[in-house]
A and B are shown apart, each in its own frame.
Chain A
Amino acid sequence: MDLTRREFLKSSAATATATAAGITVPAAALAKSKQADAGVQWDKSVCRFCGTGCGIMVATKGGRIVATKGDPDAPVNRGLNCIKGYFNGKIQYGKDRLTRPLMRMTDGEFDKQGKFQPVSWERAFDEMEKQFKKTYQDMGPHGVAVFGSGQYTIPEGYVMAKLMKAGFRSNNIDPNARHCMASAVVGFIQTFGIDEPAGNYDDIEHTDTVVTWGANMAECHPILWARVSDRRLGNDNVKLVNLTTISNQTSDIADLEIVFKPGTDLAIQNYILREIVKNDAVNHDFVNKHCVFSTGPYDIGYGMRGTSKYAFDAEKDIQAKELVVTLDADEAVAQRRKPGEKVKQNNTKKPVKHWLITYEEFKRGVEPYTLDFVAELSKGDPDEDLAAYKQKLQELAKLYMDKNRKLVSYWTMGFNQHYRGSWVNEQNYAIHLLLGKQAQPGNGAFSLTGQPSACGTAREVGTFAHRLPADLVVFNPKHRAFSEGLWKLPANTLNPKVGSHITKIMRDLEDGSVKWAWVQVNNPFQATANANHWLKAARKMDNFLVVSDPYPTVSAKVADLILPTAMIFEKWGLYGNAERRTQAWRQQVNPPGEAMGDVWQGLEFAKRFKLKEVWGEQAVPGLKAGGFEDGKLPDVLAEAQKMGYSPDDTLYDVLFANKENRKVKWPDKSVAKGHGNHIAEKLDDGWFPEKALFNEYRQFGVGHAHDLAEFDVYYRDDVRGLKWPVVDGKETQWRFNEKYDSYCAKGSGFDFYGKALKALPSGDLDKVTTPDKTSLAHKAKIFFRPYAAPPEQPDKNYDLWFSTGRVLEHWHTGTMTRRVPELHRAVPTALLYMNPDDAKARGIQRNDVVWIESRRGKIKAVVETRGRNRPVKGYTFAAFFDEGVFVNKVCLDVTCPMSKEEDFKKAAIKVYKA
């Protein structure tokens, strides 16, 4: 019997009600529920959006996604979704979905000034290849670049990283994840010697206290926030604290809200550290056994260019701070110097260097951060009573120090997108380590992630300008040798020179040092701060820009060639979420028109290069490394021939469809279950690229504390992702804790076994005094990092703070969510949230259209003085999803000098009626 939709809804509502009320559902009603979707085929998958990594089930019928639901078996979300996740089934079906390659043409030829016209894939690749080879020959491997993504699937990231690094010998590949969690990575590597969190989401159910720092979890990690809220409800012992610069939905359920001035989070952290020291709340046993103290230089600049040559006139005063900083009164106290002192920024090139200090030196470092000093410096709301604010800071410190309290600190973009992003990350670890509240159920500092595979792909696969898979780095000769071994490359094929980070690729396009770039799975021309520079660079400079995307984006609009690209359920893939959980899905439907997956695009492009074109001698200006001639990569063709390669072999044959990988057959008999694979079918080479490449990739991590399971394991019906390291088939819940992590030494209790940066010189707060290196194997570092003022702050002319960020309803630049009519109807445009008094003082009413102007550009937006974000006086906020309100034209491209992640949170603007 066919059920009508009405009956279906009725019967599903019945089961829901019954479940909620704890009543047994009559068998007949259940049977009716099951029948409702007769004829649709269900499969497990993952939500396309944020780093939470919710599991979903996807239903297809007749080659179309007809429904999705939250996966009740997924431990992350237990059947729930947020309102973005609710629309997974609709994102592939926007009306303007790109279906044909499009190229700028005039009279049948490529023309940078021409209009886009449809071309064949063959024609598209011909031009791409021609332009690539021209630039490669003229400028070498670092004349080309790839804008990668934290939304790459693992195989996609792997194909592009390997093609660029092993094939083209270029490290100019960097993901938009740089804008998302690069500061978190520096924090992890410097503190623990290994990337990614110790804990997992189950900390929420184990803890008593959740402190959010610069993370509006209620909107940006909605399902996790539902778990936190559940922990809080009806449990008055559980406390939630929200530290923020703008009162938001996360504050709504918080027991304590602390609104602080942008950048002063560093001072608050140092106040907490000082309180811990003063009250002797230090867990001495933990610290003595497992930690050391460290610091680094302060004069590291702000990640801007060292020259004003490319700056607009209005930008030059801020740019000058990259060279010399005049300390303000607060910085002088915080850094134990004199106000007005001019400090030359001597360590802009080596901001990451650091050395050991004693506990006594550490104490001397935090000494100036008294309650009085920090409260006056950090109080965000001019109208808040100082005494009341002080009390809040004291309460916060007490919560941290309470020995009977478990505590988790969460943060995201407020910390990571910060001119001292790496430092604020490190200071949270410092607090937790000093208290011994780390790497235990319910105790830990946990960096939340923005993108669905920022961890799984960008970080673990290593699609960064300095990384190789599994935490290896290009500038380490042993790491290169290991990778060359695994990849079967001649020695010194890999380039030791770190490539350009994503903001630098933009700058390279502007100054002409990159002339060919390929954008994949991201929209950097909308998502990069100070966008006016980059839009102009794309269109006015002599360069060739390729954009792969399913939809026409801002980046596509400034491109020269657009490649129509398959979306999530149109391909096989794996993502890794913020709690180290690797999750997989199968292709459910075919892509529309001629759209093709990114894996195929990478492999097809690889077919067009012979070894002799890339593995000969290559010029890399500025290259300086042991075993290399300055400025050059050696010719490795002779060595390659000894290894059995011919100079006429293609990169496709050598790097991808090699003998080993071709053994992994498509059609697949083990996990495909009848599902298609448009990439394997189009290649028609009889191999299964995603599976072969994943299994090749996982060898990097096995035995190195990055163990992933075999490809097929993730596709088992009973698996809903696994948290790495997966050892003997078992995932790891809490790393560095002997009870849970098999990599810990026996009897250690805790073991911070990460290997990076584990031998350091020693010194005092200001400098190295003993250059000899001390080993600190198995230990974590507690850093001292001083408060430094934001380079751009409101002044007479630009008199308001401006921050950008997200809303729950939209994902990133809105490429997908703005194509869902319901989401667009709900939140059609980005509003400028401002304080009602600030609006009034400028003669602005709610719903007025205003100009938002900074040193870098101006945009129009509608003012909102009510609603979800409630800025205190002097602060404003607008989300970045809306290309119509192009906030990145206003934002400042300052970065954390260590992580190179942009600070999207602290620009100075003025607002006036349009």
Chain B
Amino acid sequence: MNSHAKISRRNFFARVGQGAALAASGGLVWLYLLKQQVRASPYAIRPPGARDEPDFHARCIKCGQCVDACPYDTLALATADAGIPIGTPYFVPRNVPCYMCEDIPCVRACPTGALDPALDNIDDARMGLAVIDIENCLSWQGLRCEICFRECPVQSEAITVEHHPRRLSKHAMFVPLVHSNACTGCGICEQACPTQKAAIRVLPPELVQGQIGDHYRLGWTVDTPITRDFNAGGGATGADTPATGLDYLNEGPL
């Protein structure tokens, strides 16, 4: 496979592009680049420890030292055609995933803290979040695949398998599920996925994650013993509160 060479070549062009951009940084081009970053960056899968996008862009000087430090040539600097702000480091998991080096050389190499030096355990990295297309995932159809589960470096935490009944036959299905509390976004699952196009993909979490309302707890996740000595204070608004509902009550047809 010549992806290594290709990436190196891209690497070269990227640095040329970066140089040109810096040379021409009379303002307008730089502004153009910043605008492009704002528009395009939600889709980028960044190296481990990359800060939130605005913060990351404020710090990243596109020096390429993380790319150089990566022993697997996972990382590249974006070229103009990458759909990602030019010169910023990123990776395409389906080509080369992050292998989760324990010493995290890319972060150590970053001179500006765009990759947060506080990241000292690669399991805490959140490069992205794996998402399963259950319509095309073979395991969700009942085939015994579960490659993603078995290949996952945080196996049984980031990806688990549940056993679901399969009404079409007497066989149980082994369906993979991803858990955001443990998934680092390394992309090994995406790279390994055996379907023609990967049925598990790494995406930036903010593109895919919802959030349960603050007003609710999942019943079985937190212990909530009945309060022994209840404090009933607070909250009373008492008399002379303004009357509400009058517009509805006094106006309009029945």
Contacts and interface: CB of A to CB of B under 8 A. Distances in A.
A89 B215 contact: yes
B230 interface: yes
A10 B181 contact: yes
B227 A37 contact: no
B167 to A, nearest CB: 8
Most buried by A among B180, B220, B224: B224
Contact of A33 (B156, B160, B221, B254): B221
B160 A34 contact: no
Interface string A53-90: 00001010011111111111000001111000011011
B162 to A, nearest CB: 7
Contacts of A587: 232
A847 to B, nearest CB: 25
A87 B160 contact: no
A37 B222 CA distance: 9
How many chain A residues sit at the interface, stated as a range, is: 35 or more
30 contacts: A10-B181, A11-B181, A15-B221, A16-B220, A20-B160, A20-B177, A41-B230, A42-B224, A42-B226, A68-B217, A69-B218, A70-B219, A79-B220, A86-B216, A89-B216, A95-B244, A96-B245, A98-B245, A99-B243, A116-B250, A233-B167, A236-B167, A552-B249, A562-B249, A593-B237, A594-B241, A673-B230, A674-B232, A675-B230, A676-B232
Interface stretch (A516-524, A553-561, A789-797, A835-843): A553-561
A102 interface: yes
A97 interface: yes
Interface stretch (B59-67, B85-93, B184-192, B206-214): B206-214
Interface string B7-35: 00000000000000000000000000000
A590 B239 CA distance: 12
Nearest to A532: B254
A249 interface: no
Contact of A118 (B156, B212, B243): B243
The 5 A-B pairs of least Cβ separation, nearest first, read A63-B235, A79-B219, A234-B165, A63-B234, A674-B230
B116 to A, nearest CB: 16
Given A33-B221, A64-B235, 6 more contacts: A70-B219, A87-B216, A558-B254, A589-B235, A593-B239, A673-B227
Interface string A281-314: 0000000000000000000000000000000000
B23 to A, nearest CB: 41
A43 interface: yes
A43 B216 contact: no
A234 B170 CA distance: 9
B108 interface: no
B223 interface: yes
B249 to A, nearest CB: 5
A9 interface: yes
Contacts of B226: 42-44, 673, 717
Nearest to B157: A17
Contacts of A81: 219
Contact of A551 (B167, B181, B229, B245): B245
A41 B238 contact: no
A586 B227 CA distance: 12
A23 interface: yes
Interface string A1-44: 00001000111111111011101000000100110110001111
A668 to B, nearest CB: 12
Interface in B151-207: 156-157, 160, 162, 165, 167, 177, 179-182
A835 to B, nearest CB: 28
Looking at B182, B218, B228, which has the most chain A CB atoms within 10 Å of its CB? Answer: B218
Contacts of A97: 244
Contacts of B249: 102, 116, 552, 556-557, 562
- Provide the main secondary structure of the chain A interface: mixed
A213 B160 CA distance: 40
A414 to B, nearest CB: 27
Chain B interface secondary structure, helix, strand, loop or mixed?
Answer: loop
Most buried by B among A80, A96, A117: A96
Contacts of B182: 14, 17
A467 interface: no
Interface size class of B (residues with CB under 8 A): 35 or more
Contacts of A562: 245, 249
A557 B217 contact: no
B118 interface: no
Contacts of B221: 12-13, 15-16, 19, 33
B54 interface: no
A321 interface: no
Contacts of A64: 234-235
Contacts of A539: 254
B241 A100 contact: yes
A298 to B, nearest CB: 39
A116 B246 contact: yes
Interface of B: 156-157, 160, 162, 165, 167, 177, 179-182, 211-239, 241-246, 248-250, 254
Contacts of A111: none
Nearest to A538: B254
A535 interface: yes
Contacts of A252: none
A20 to B, nearest CB: 7
Q: Which of B162, B182, B232, B248 has the most CB of A within 10 A?
A: B232
A37 B217 contact: yes
Interface in A229-257: 233-234, 236
A592 interface: yes
A118 to B, nearest CB: 4
B218 A12 contact: yes
A69 B232 contact: no
B170 to A, nearest CB: 9
User: Which of B177, B180, B254 lies at the interface centre, i.e. has the most chain A CB atoms within 10 A of its CB?
Assistant: B254
B201 to A, nearest CB: 20
Contact of A593 (B211, B215, B228, B238): B238
Contact of B215 (A19, A68, A535, A554): A68
A473 to B, nearest CB: 37
B220 A557 contact: no
A336 B46 CA distance: 81
Contacts of A511: none
Contacts of B225: 42, 717
B8 to A, nearest CB: 38
Nearest to B230: A674
A126 interface: no
A717 B243 CA distance: 39
B243 A19 contact: no
Contacts of B244: 95-100, 552
Given A15-B221, A592-B237, A673-B229, A552 B248 contact: yes
B160 A17 contact: yes
Contacts of A59: 217, 224
Given A12-B221, A34-B222, A593-B238, A69 B216 contact: yes
